Amino acid sequence: MAENPKAFKLKNIAVAGRELALAWADGHESYLGFDELRRACPCAVCRGHHGIGTGPPDPLRVVKAPQMGEVAIKALNPVGAYAVQIVWSDGHDTGIYSFESLRQACECLECKA
C-alpha cells in the first residue's frame, strides 16, 4: 500500500450507518466503526498530551467517556488535502484524522495482509 501514491488519496467520504465509509483513489474502500474512530481520536487531549508542563491535573475534573454505540458523527470538515476533522455527537471536535491514519486503520484482509 505505501508504494502506491494513490493509497492515501481520498476520493469520497460519507457516513454509512454507524461507519465512516471511505473510497480511495486506488479503488479500495474502507469502513471504520464510529466507536473505534472516537476511541482512536488523535487530538492532544485524547492522547494525554494536553497537560504537559502546565502543572498537575485538576482532581475535580470529571470526564465521562461515551458508551459503545452512543457516539455518532455530526459533521465532517475537510482539512486541506490531507485530513478530515470529525465533529462527534458528544461535543468533541478537536481531532484531525489524516487520510494516511484512516487508511492504516482499515481492518480488511487486503490491508492487513
pLDDT in tens, 62-77: 555 667 778 999 999 9
- What is the pTM for the complete model shown? 0.81
Residue 5 lies in a domain: no
Q: Looking at residue 80, which CATH number applies to its domain?
A: 3.30.2020.30
Strand 83-88, strand 96-98: pairing: antiparallel
Closest CA to 92 of 46, 34, 35, 36: 46
pLDDT band at 33 (very low <50, low <70, confident <90, very high): very high
- 98 is a domain residue: yes
* CA distances, 37 to each of 2, 20, 78, 85 (Å): 22, 9, 16, 12
Q: For residue 1, is it within any domain? A: no
Residue type, 81: A
